Amino acid sequence: MPINVLINGAWGRMGQEAVKAVQNDPELELVGQIGKTDDLTAVIQQSKAQVVVDLTTPAAVYKNTLAIINAQACPVIGTTGLTPEQIKKLEECCTQKKRGGVVAPNFSIAAILMMRFSAQVSQYFPHVEIIELHHAGKLDSPSGTAIKTAEMIATVRADQAAPKATHENIPGARGALHHHIPIHSIRLPGLVASQEVLFGGVGETLRICHNTIHREAFMPGILLACKKVLMLDHLVYGLEQLL
Ligand code: NAP
């Protein structure tokens, strides 16, 4: 039996790609495509959606995710901009209802590997800065991927004497700090999504880069999450938890 999937934000750039990807997957059934004028709860009930993929906006995503969980469907959240407090509340809500959920700031498998490699490298090269580059229409900054990368590096560095960024508390243009790691956000037309993680050592540097050339790159991760989320009884944050 195919899994019933509803796409919220279906008329957006990511939403349109997700609609095509779900339609082309024989294990999934697209039961609806909706946007901001639709009643999310009512459509979930009418369409019998088991999984709802949310690709909307930072302002709408928390309310949407709660509505999805309360309507007895499993959320697969690609929209970025959820705060750590909101993610914690959504985790608690899913655990209480024994409902599977996935929140992934990046559904690209290569981007997940870039984050994993970055965390690994930080064991040996603790001095690091992140540059993320996105299209001009991206509403949030820094990107969810950059924040997640900083979190993964911080987890590894927690056991070590992690260096503070040299400019902390000094005004200038040295990026925003997350877990003491400077993140520099670039927003320009022509870009899709890229990230560089730069490590500095004694007499050498190491640079890990990931470039998204087309939004199709995110689709295998979204399809994987739609299939695996029904087997979960809690919410996971990060596609790497499913790989
Ligand atoms: P987009 O082109 O602006 O699309 C967003 C869509 O959501 C629009 O059609 C918008 O409608 C609609 N929308 C706005 N508020 C809504 C609501 N309350 N309920 C339902 N739909 C609503 O943006 P995008 O480039 O597709 O990106 C969407 C999100 O995905 C962003 O947060 C982005 O950062 C994220 N993203 C995630 C990944 C990942 O791998 N996790 C990758 C790329 C992008 P209107 O245009 O009419 O306002």
Kindly report the three-state secondary structure assignment for every residue of 110-132: HHHHHHHHHHHHCCCCCEEEEEE
CA distance 60 to 36: 9
Q: If you take atom 3 of ligand 1, which residue's CA is the nearest one?
A: 12
At 90-130, the pLDDT tens digits run: 999 999 999 999 999 999 999 999 999 999 999 999 999 99
Q: If you take atom 29 of ligand 1, which residue's CA is the nearest one?
A: 79
pLDDT of residue 30: 98
**Which ranges constitute the DSSP H helices of 48-195?**
61-70, 84-97, 109-121, 144-157
ω into residue 126 within 30 of 0, thus cis?
A: no
Mean pLDDT of 18-37: 98
Q: If you take atom 40 of ligand 1, which residue's CA is the nearest one?
A: 106
Mean pLDDT of 38-55: 98
Q: Which CATH number fits domain 3-106+216-242: 3.30.70.1900, 3.30.70.1400, 3.40.50.720, 3.40.50.300?
A: 3.40.50.720
SS3 45: helix
pLDDT of residue 168: 72
Return the number of other C-beta atoms located less than 10 Å from residue 144's C-beta.
Answer: 20
Mean pLDDT of 67-84: 96
Residue 102 CA, ligand 1 centroid: distance in Å = 17
Mean pLDDT of 191-212: 96
Q: Can 184 be counted among the known catalytic residues?
A: no
- Distance set, CA 65 to CA 2, 77, 135, 144, 197 (Å): 23, 8, 25, 17, 30
Backbone phi, psi, residue 24, to 5°: -90, 0
Task: Show the ligand 1 pocket: residues with CB < 6 angstroms.
Answer: 8-9, 11-15, 35-36, 55-58, 60, 78-81, 104-107, 137-138, 218
Mean pLDDT of 63-71: 98
Residues 6+ apart with CB under 8 A from 46: none
Largest Cα–Cα separation, the chain: 62
Q: Can 138 be counted among the known catalytic residues?
A: yes
pLDDT of residue 170: 72
pLDDT of residue 163: 73
pLDDT of residue 88: 98
Q: If you take atom 22 of ligand 1, which residue's CA is the nearest one?
A: 36
Residue 30 CA, ligand 1 centroid: distance in Å = 18
49 with 22: CB under 8 angstroms?
no
At 208-243, the pLDDT tens digits run: 999 999 999 999 999 999 999 999 999 999 999 998
Query: 63, 134, 184, 210: which one is catalytic?
Result: 134
Q: State the span(s) of the chain assigned CATH 3.30.360.10.
A: 109-214
At 151-177, the pLDDT tens digits run: 999 999 876 666 776 667 677 889 999
**CATH C-level class of 109-214:** alpha beta
DSSP 77: E
pLDDT of residue 159: 65
Backbone phi, psi, residue 183, to 5°: -120, 125
Mean pLDDT of 140-157: 94
pLDDT of residue 166: 67
**What is the pTM assigned to this prediction?**
0.89
Crossing angle, helix 61-70 and helix 40-47, to 10 degrees? 40
